[in-house]
Amino acid sequence: MRDSDNILTTTAAARLLGVATSTVQMWMESGALASWKTPGGHRRTHRADVDRLLARLPGRAAIPTEEFTPRPQPGYPVGRDEAGRLLALAAAGLVDTPAEPRFDRIVRLAAQVTGSPIALVSLLTSTRQWFKARVGLAAQETPREWAFCSHAVLHDAPFVVEDAAADPRFRDNPLVQEEPRIRFYAGVPLRDRAGEALGTLCVIDREPRKLRAAELQALMDLAAIAADEIGAGAGR
């Protein structure tokens, strides 16, 4: 059993983490920070669990509160550790940052090597998919509920939809029914150094199609480069 001196209140944990008490409370409720309730209904956590969370949050001072906390009843599929994935995304510090040539080059190449009119580096918060880089699409973001990428981040292998209009998971999606009228999608998860899928490198077409083996391999290679760039940025 751990020493009682290592048991922390939400206020004490917030002080160590450098965030608001309300943020710690949300992390506890979502499971991002392990905790339990006392008989009086107060949340408590162990110092060791706070230290583990600290190690994952090098940019914790800039972390927003709600957008990087899991939604209680999301209208999209999530993995078993969505809380950890969102914290890793927050720590990467990429969401809502300006365009960067290193990612712009990757989406241009992804579009070229696959012959696709649209290519994106997509990052998934709890409320939206936000595009760090994009070609062929004017929108900077969409609601998370519309994101094909929510399915892609659940897989280790590339996630491919050859005809979205014929797929019951996507045929009623606004992105299929309206612009950009997605019919084909292929996405590869972008994982950080700890293995968390922060988003995808994906290509999209307005016609049903398949990727040739060489095209799929090229997309996977570019996704590996994009993931390396994310890791390099987090270490700066």
Residue 142 phi, psi (nearest 5) = -140, 165
Q: Which segment of 2-6, 123-127, 195-199 scores lowest on mean pLDDT?
A: 2-6
Annotate 88-139 with DSSP letters as a single string.
Answer: HHHHHT-TTPPP-HHHHHHHHHHHHHHT-SEEEEEEE-SSEEEEEEEES---
For 129-134, what is the mean pLDDT?
98
pLDDT more than 90, % of the chain: 61
Confidence (pLDDT) at 19: 74
**pLDDT, tens digit (0-9, with 9 covering 90-100), for 4-53:** 558 888 988 887 777 778 878 888 887 778 899 999 889 999 988 888 88
Beta bridge partners of 130: 123, 141
Residues 6 or more apart whose CB falls under 8 angstroms from that of 150 comprise 76, 77, 78, 124, 129, 144
Cα angle 217-222-227, degrees, rounded to a multiple of 5:
125
pLDDT(131) > 80: yes
Going from N- to C-terminal start, the domains of the chain cover 4-56, 101-234
Confidence (pLDDT) at 2: 45
What distances in angstroms separate CA 191 from CA 17, 72, 74, 155, one per listed residue?
24, 24, 22, 11
Confidence (pLDDT) at 129: 98
**pLDDT, tens digit (0-9, with 9 covering 90-100), for 132-160:** 999 999 999 999 999 999 999 999 999 99
d(CA 177, CA 115): 22
Confidence of residue 3 (pLDDT cuts 50, 70, 90): low
Are 124 and 89 a contacting pair, CB within 8 Å? yes
CATH class of the region 4-56: mainly alpha
Confidence (pLDDT) at 62: 47
pTM: 0.78
d(CA 10, CA 166): 49
**pLDDT, tens digit (0-9, with 9 covering 90-100), for 70-107:** 888 899 999 988 888 888 888 788 999 999 999 999 99
CATH of 101-234 among 3.50.50.60, 3.30.450.40, 3.10.300.10, 3.40.50.2020: 3.30.450.40
